[in-house]
Amino acid sequence: MITASQCRAARALTDVSRAILADQSGVSEDVIREFENKLSKPDDATINALQAALESLGALFIAENGGGIGVRLKFTRSEARRIAQMENEGGPTAFDEVP
């Protein structure tokens, strides 16, 4: 389940307003605002609806893994292919140190 900070960050990363998130999730803007500002904590079903909507908009939530919780953008399939191509383009590797 996501936190208020992850919700705010995911909205910023996906570049969506509270109104768009409300429309996508079926959760009212007021509930989103109060959750993000830590004024109230909605029930689990509401938070799960927000998380599902944000994930469908491109957010990927990172669970506690020793380095803290977080959120990042998902790569599209074409972006992942381009990254793989760039990673495989180089020649032989050598030491980076310059004498």
| Residue pointed to by tokens 């310059």 | 98
Q: How confident is the model at residue 16 (pLDDT cuts 50, 70, 90)?
A: very high
> Is the pLDDT at 6 greater than 90, yes or no?
yes
| Residue pointed to by tokens 């208020």 | 4
The pLDDT value recorded for residue 90 is: 65
> Is the pLDDT at 9 greater than 60, yes or no?
yes
Average of per-residue pLDDT across 53-77: 85
More confident residue, 91 or 16: 16
Nearest CA to 53 out of 30, 23, 73 is that of 23
* All domains in the chain, ordered by first residue: 4-87 (1.10.260.40)
Distance CA 68, CA 87 (A): 28
More confident residue, 78 or 34: 34
Whole-Å CA distances, 70 to 8, 20, 23, 90, 98: 11, 22, 24, 32, 37
One-letter identity of residue 33: R
| Backbone φ, ψ for residue 2 (5° rounding) | -80, 160
